[in-house]
């Protein structure tokens, strides 16, 4: 157990819908990262927050947005869902930036039908 | 740029053999090189990392070597066991975004056959 929690574990929804994925980082970690992993694919970086502020962005679609709240938990919002958005979404946390070990949550598997 | 190439994409070895996975990168300012292991259906986990002030680091059966001149780093697993079967990802901080994000390689699927 990494100490990072993600909810829900599974999510099945229809095209055009909007979903929210939630992540709670390890106690003491200030950074939260979001990654997308499609079937048999690598880890695609989406976005990073540090202590409530956005610090780095990857190739995140405009239909996706995220935020980190004062209690440091983070939410990833996916809207106007398409079939191609079906993937495993991981959240990771670390003490600081990318030079620190990242602890991954168990992931949320999103299926868009 | 922010690019890391990982080879091979798949690797099949017999139990007890060694396995080597190599990553090459382009940003000469890179100085932190982690390796993550993702077992089937599990989350990625850091298994070893190296910083550019050393050329090699070992932890039991795994080691990472770094060649900054040639801009590549490698993961070495000796005396492989079936539980080493997993996908291995190299990574390094990207210069874009102020080195706040990790760029992962495409992954190497290692299969260790008994």
Q: Region A28-57: what's the mean pLDDT?
A: 93
- pLDDT above 70 for A42: yes
The reported pLDDT for the residue numbered A107 is: 97
Determine contact: A26 vs chain B, CB below 8 A. Answer: no
Closest CA to B1 of B23, B22, B30: B30
- pLDDT above 80 for B2: no
pLDDT band at B27 (very low <50, low <70, confident <90, very high): confident
Min Cα separation B69/chain A (Å):
21
CA A9 to chain centre: 12
Inspect the interface and report whether the beta carbons of A33 and B101 lie closer than 8 Å.
yes
Say if residues B49 and B33 touch (Cβ distance below 8 Å): yes
Torsion angle defined by CA atoms of residues A42, A15, A56 and B93, in that order, rounded to the nearest 10 degrees: 0
Identify which of B44, B46, B101 has the shortest CB distance to residue A45: B101
Closest CA to A83 of A22, A20, A35, A12: A12
- pLDDT above 90 for A96: no
Question: What sign does the dihedral A40-B3-B54-B78 (CA atoms) show?
Answer: positive
Identify which of A56, A101, A105 has the shortest CB distance to residue B43: A105
Q: Best residue in B21, B39, B102, B104 to probe A by mutation, most A CBs within 10 Å?
A: B102
Q: Region A43-64: what's the mean pLDDT?
A: 94
Which residues of chain A lie closer than 8 angstroms to B9, CB-CB?
A: none
The reported pLDDT for the residue numbered B53 is: 79
- pLDDT above 60 for B1: no
Token look-up 């191609």 returns A84
Min Cα separation B55/chain A (Å):
17
Inspect the interface and report whether the beta carbons of A101 and B46 lie closer than 8 Å.
yes
Min Cα separation A97/chain B (Å):
5
């Amino acid at each position: 157990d990494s100490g990072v929690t993600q909810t829900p574990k599974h999510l099945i929804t229809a095209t055009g819908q909007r979903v929210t994925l939630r992540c709670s980082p390890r106690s003491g970690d200030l950074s939260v990262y979001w990654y997308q992993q499609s079937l048999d694919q690598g880890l695609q970086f989406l976005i990073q927050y540090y202590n409530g502020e956005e610090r780095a962005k990857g190739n995140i679609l405009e239909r996706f947005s995220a935020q980190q709240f004062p209690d440091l938990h983070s939410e990833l919002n996916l809207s106007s869902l398409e079939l191609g958005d079906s993937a495993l979404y991981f959240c990771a946390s670390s003490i600081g930036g990318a030079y620190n070990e990242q602890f991954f949550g168990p992931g949320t598997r999103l299926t868009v039908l | 740029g922010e690019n890391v190439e990982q080879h091979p994409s798949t690797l099949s070895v017999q139990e007890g053999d060694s396995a080597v996975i190599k990553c090459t990168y382009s940003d000469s300012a890179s100085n932190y090189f982690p390796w993550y292991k993702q077992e089937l259906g599990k989350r990625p986990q850091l298994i070893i990392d190296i910083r550019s002030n050393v050329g090699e680091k070992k932890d039991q059966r795994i080691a990472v070597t770094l060649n900054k001149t040639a801009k590549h780093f490698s993961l070495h697993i000796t005396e492989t066991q079936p539980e080493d079967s997993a996908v291995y990802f190299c990574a390094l901080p990207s210069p874009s975004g102020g080195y706040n994000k990790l760029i992962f390689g495409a992954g190497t699927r290692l299969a260790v056959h008994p």
